[in-house]
């Protein structure tokens, strides 16, 4: 019953002020990041202008040298055809002049290619930096709005004390779940795209050196570089899909779940079926996102703990509710023991219940040792 006691208003006020101070500090840090990114944009833009100017000069030099080289070749042809009318020194001078101009022209063209490559890379870097700056500035604006909103509504906090008590544990568990998700994503990025991007940098440096010393091997290295880029793109797309599948926004929950289950089956070798009933229509964004995360959590438990061979997901959209069930043929468990002993399976079940509670829904779990597990979720649809 201790959690039901009224909280000390002064303590609550301190917590809120500390929270606002932390948010303000976070806002300042994001502002510093924005300034750093803005400086980086300016630096890249300045370097890009310098490279572009240098490239323009090289193009002019190449054009001028091409004219001279053509004249030298024409003169050499003329001398070669009529060598009996020219002295040996004149013939030798014409040949050496044409050859020197050809070598100079080749060197200038190679340098021009490198400058074009550098210019293209800088343009890509500048575009990415500007996109990052836009995202940072949007985050900063949203955080500022949130701080202003919280600051202007502190006087209403006392009316929400009861709710705060009930939501306290929920908030702690959500933060814990978020941190676990961040750790998982960080591991995936570190082990996958981050390693490959490091290899890409090395490969790119090799290509630049080969361009100068061994152009014949350049194609082989570029093929390897292309394959690394393709693999990195696949890994990044998978991480993005796990975070927020585009099908969820474009086609709705049913299509996103069907796609996710197909990927789950292919990746982990667990047969995954999907059945849909009712009216196929779009649900509120929060409802679609919550149910998708719940299914993700259920399948994560199946993969880690159930030792199942198959899992079946059923979804029904009724006029006033959306119902969803996830059933596996795994080893099952003793529900009270898992819920009370802080076992890993219990954390997943807590996350599922809390996500449903946020939308005023409920969760039922049917399981027993050796009998598999069925998780039933029902969320009301409120206009």
Domain of 92, CATH number, reads 1.10.287.2610
Residues 297 and 231 occupy one common structural domain: no
Query: What count of Cα atoms within 13 Å lies in the side-chain half-sphere of residue 22?
Result: 6
CA distance 91 to 83: 7
Q: Which of 308, 312, 339, 306 is nearest to 325 (CA)?
A: 312
Is residue 260 domain-shared with residue 375, that is, in the same domain? yes
State which of 152, 171, 193 marks the end of a domain.
Answer: 152
User: Which pLDDT does position 98 carry in this prediction?
Assistant: 76
The structure tokens listed for 45 are 């833009």
Asked whether residue 1 is assigned to any structural domain, the reply reads no
pLDDT by residue for the chain (383 residues), tens only, comes to: 344 444 455 566 677 777 777 878 887 888 888 888 888 888 888 988 988 888 888 888 888 878 887 887 787 777 777 767 767 777 778 778 878 878 887 888 888 888 888 888 888 888 888 888 888 888 888 877 777 776 666 545 545 555 555 455 555 555 565 556 666 666 666 666 667 677 777 777 777 777 777 777 777 777 777 777 777 776 676 666 566 666 677 778 888 899 889 988 988 899 999 999 988 888 888 888 889 989 988 998 898 888 899 999 999 998 899 999 999 999 988 887 766 555 555 567 777 888 888 888 889 999 889 889 999 999 998 75
Task: Judge contact between 327 and 308, C-beta under 8 A.
Answer: no
Burial class (CB in 10 A: 0-12, 13-18, 19+), 308: buried
Q: Is residue 318 part of a domain?
A: yes
Of 97, 117, 152, the residue at which a domain comes to its end is: 152
127 phi/psi in degrees, rounded to 5: -60, -45
Boundary-marking domain end, from 243, 259, 286: 243
Q: Examine residue 226 and state whether it is found in any structural domain, yes or no.
A: yes
Q: According to the model, what pLDDT value does residue 193 have? A: 67
Whether residues 116 and 38 fall in one domain: yes
Dihedral (C-alpha) 124, 126, 129, 133: value to the nearest 10 degrees?
Answer: -130
pTM of the model: 0.45
205 lies in the same domain as 297 = no
- 210 and 258 assigned to the same domain: no
Q: Considering the domain boundaries, does residue 81 fall inside one?
A: yes
- Tell me how far apart the alpha carbons of residues 368 and 327 are, in angstroms, rounded to a whole number: 13
DSSP one-letter string for 69-116: HHHHHHHHHHHHHTGGGS-HHHHHHHHHHHHHHHHHHHHHHHHHHHHH
Residue 116 sits in the same domain as residue 70? yes
Considering the domain architecture, whether residues 176 and 291 belong to the same structural domain is answered as: no
List the CATH number of the domain containing 266: 3.30.565.10
Helices (H), the chain: 9-81, 88-152, 161-189, 195-213, 218-243, 246-250, 253-268, 285-301, 335-340, 344-358
Q: Are 166 and 360 in contact, with CB atoms under 8 Å apart?
A: no
**Same domain, yes or no: 133 and 23:** yes
Note whether 237 and 329 are same-domain residues.
Answer: no
CATH number (domain holding residue 186): 1.20.5
Looking at the fold, whether 133 and 185 belong to one and the same domain comes out as: no
79 in the same domain as 56: yes
Distance CA 326, CA 312 (A): 6
Task: Decide if 352 contacts 375 (C-beta within 8 A).
Answer: yes
Q: How many domains does the chain have?
A: 3
In a domain, 130, yes or no: yes
Q: What's the domain range around 225?
A: 161-243
**Helix (H), strand (E) at residue 252:** none
Long-range Cβ pairs for the range 164-173 (8 Å, 24+)? 164/7, 164/12, 165/3, 165/4, 165/7, 168/3, 169/3, 170/354, 170/357, 170/358, 173/347, 173/350, 173/351, 173/354
Nearest-angstrom CA–CA distance, 101 and 97: 6
Residue 29, domain member (yes or no): yes
CB contact at 8 A, 170 and 8: no
Same domain, 68 and 198: no
* Strand ranges across the sheet with 321-328: 271-278, 310-317, 321-328, 373-380, 362-367
Q: How far is CA 147 from the centre of its chain?
A: 27
Residue 169: predicted pLDDT: 55
Q: What is the pLDDT of residue 6?
A: 43
Tokens standing for residue 1: 């019953």
Q: How many CB atoms lie within 10 A of CB 96?
A: 12
Distance of CA 17 to the CA centre of its chain: 33
In a domain, 2, yes or no: no
Residue 340 lies in a domain: yes
Nearest CA-CA partner of 332 in 372, 282, 383: 372
The pLDDT, as a whole number, for residue 5 is 42
Q: How many residues does the chain have?
A: 383
Buried-exposed string 189-215: b where 16+ CB fall within 10 A, e elsewhere: eeebbeebeeeeeebbebbeebbeeee
């Amino acid at each position: 019953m201790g959690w039901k006691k009224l909280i000390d208003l002064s303590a609550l006020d301190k917590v809120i002020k500390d929270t606002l101070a932390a948010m303000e500090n976070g806002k300042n840090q994001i502002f510093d990041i924005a300034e750093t990114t803005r400086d980086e944009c300016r630096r890249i833009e300045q370097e890009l202008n310098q490279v572009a100017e240098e490239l323009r000069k090289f193009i002019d030099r190449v054009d001028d040298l091409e004219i001279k080289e053509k004249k030298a070749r024409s003169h050499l042809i003329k001398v070669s055809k009529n060598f009996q009318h020219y002295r040996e020194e004149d013939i030798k001078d014409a040949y050496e002049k044409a050859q020197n101009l050809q070598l100079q022209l080749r060197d200038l063209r190679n340098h021009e290619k490198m400058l074009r490559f550098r210019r293209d890379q800088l343009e890509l870097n500048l575009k990415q930096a500007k996109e990052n700056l836009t995202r940072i500035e949007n985050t900063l604006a949203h955080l500022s709005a949130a701080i202003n909103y919280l600051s202007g509504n502190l006087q209403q906090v006392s009316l929400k004390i009861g709710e705060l008590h009930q939501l306290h544990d929920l908030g702690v568990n959500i933060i814990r779940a978020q941190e676990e998700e961040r750790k998982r994503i960080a591991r995936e990025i570190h082990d996958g795209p981050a390693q490959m991007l490091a290899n890409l940098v090395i490969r790119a440096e090799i290509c630049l050196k080969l361009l100068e010393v061994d152009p014949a091997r350049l194609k082989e290295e570029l093929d390897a570089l292309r394959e690394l880029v393709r693999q990195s793109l696949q890994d990044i797309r998978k991480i993005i899909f796990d975070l927020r599948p585009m099908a969820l926004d474009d086609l709705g929950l049913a299509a996103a779940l069907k796609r996710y289950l197909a990927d789950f089956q292919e990746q982990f070798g667990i047969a995954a079926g999907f059945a849909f009933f009712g009216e196929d229509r779009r649900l509120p964004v929060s409802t679609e996102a919550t149910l998708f995360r719940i299914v993700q959590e259920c399948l994560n438990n199946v993969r880690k703990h159930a030792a199942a061979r198959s899992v079946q997901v059923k979804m029904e959209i009724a006029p006033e509710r959306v119902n969803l069930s996830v059933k596996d043929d795994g080893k099952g468990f003793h529900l009270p023991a898992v819920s009370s002993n802080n076992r890993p399976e219990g954390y997943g079940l807590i996350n599922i219940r809390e996500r449903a509670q946020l939308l005023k829904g409920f969760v039922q779990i049917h399981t027993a040792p050796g009998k598999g597990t069925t998780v039933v979720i029902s969320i009301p649809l409120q206009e």
